[in-house]
Amino acid sequence: MSRVHASLLCIIGLSPWHAAHAQGLFDRSTLSGVIVAGAVVATDARAWTGGGLGKVEHRGVQADADAVVAWRPDLTPRLSSHIALALQSSVRGVVGLDEAYLRLRRDPEAAVGLTARAGLFFPPASLEHDGAEWTTHHTLTPSAIGSWIAEEVKVLGAEATVHTALAGKPASLTFAAFGANDTAGTLLTFRGWALHDLRATAGQTLPLPPVTPAFFEQAPRTQPVIELDGRIGAYAKAEVALSDALSLSAMVYSNQGDLVALRNGQYAWQTRFATMGASLRTPGNTTILGQVLFGTSRMGLVEGKGAKTDVSFGSAYLLVSKPLRKGALTGRIEAFAIDDHSFLDMENNHEKGAALTGAWTRPLSGATELVTEVVGVWSDRPARARIGTSPDQLDIQTKIALRTRF
């Protein structure tokens, strides 16, 4: 990470101390978080977190614990600071800096509202992450789309949103410029799509499966939050609420990666994607979410032959969550694919697959609930033959956990 980026994080982290006498800075109300702890039973395929090509986070029988804790003090009536730590028991380092940014709230008296933030944060690209501290509300495990955004699409930059009306309906336009997301596409290309609840943190590395000698300079672990080429990426999002029940959104993203940038085993990838989503709440309070994402990712240059790696990717899901007398029942169906357009004889990254997820959430007491979830992922990935496993694979993971919000 560059000195500029490091300095920005320091400013964000230290800014509340300059307002140390502000009333309520250390009130209990400035702390919030989500804690999930439970047990997991999964099929015995080598999980991607262990350097394999499995599609779920775990293998066999394991305990699992995750938490996100945020401190959100107000610095002025409209300016606040957001600093969050993530605890993840199945990653190296366990505790990491999740998000850290300054946030400008909307002026309630302004006809056209403006909100903004600057620092380290997740772009608003996942429709499912609608819970506290950018967590999922309906399931424990996000879709393949949400999982990829969480693991590889975290930025260090500045974002502004204009809130207005379109034909009398609430609407917003978001624009952002960012850096430190140059390796986005590494996991998606070499490992493929996956379903898990991990999230990238500052300085964290995530494991890759073995890659061919064509990529001998690639480190065995990828670092999702890193600046390599000094280029500024950008994204834009539009959202409109057609009614109290139905909202639509669309977003485009490009990290503007330099194909030849390489440092300490970390390649810069030129990754671009577009995503569209819809959220509907029926008269019976059933929630329906749908999202589609498609894009391209390229890395490296071979003289006279183009990019060393050139893939296009896509995924879509439909989620339905129905409230019950006690709790809620959620189902999700999805499909995903990757097409490799380069040097298949050296590294074949083609992939296709589908997944089904079912979750039952039952409230216990206060803000604590019991969640039981089953995820089944079928995938066909030719690269598995290179490590001695069948290209065709079914991964199943069952998780029972307590989830508490505070």
Over residues 162-198, the pLDDT tens digits come to 999 988 899 999 999 999 999 999 999 999 999 999 9
pLDDT bucket at 3, cuts 50 / 70 / 90: very low
The span from the CA of 121 to the CA of 83, in Å, is: 10
Which residue has 């994607």 as its token pair? 273
Strands (E), 43-76: 60-71
Nearest to residue 148, comparing CAs of 114, 182, 122? Answer: 122
pLDDT bucket at 24, cuts 50 / 70 / 90: low
Burial 43-72 (b: 16+ CB within 10 A, else e): bebebbbebbbbbbbbbeebebebbbbbbb
CATH code, 3-13+29-405: 2.40.160.10
Q: What is the pLDDT of residue 267?
A: 95
The span from the CA of 301 to the CA of 257, in Å, is: 13
Identify any residues that bridge with 281 across adjacent strands, giving them in sequence order. Answer: 287
Identify any residues that bridge with 402 across adjacent strands, giving them in sequence order. Answer: 37, 370
pLDDT bucket at 35, cuts 50 / 70 / 90: very high
**Phi-psi bin for 224: left (phi > 0), alpha (psi -120 to 50), beta?**
alpha
The verdict on pTM exceeding 0.85 is yes
Strands (E), 282-385: 287-302, 306-323, 328-340, 351-365, 368-380
When the pLDDT of each residue in the chain is averaged and rounded to a whole number, the result is 92
Q: What is the pLDDT of residue 14?
A: 47
pLDDT, mean of residues 33-59 = 94
Tokens of 401: 């956990």
Q: What is the pLDDT of residue 174?
A: 98
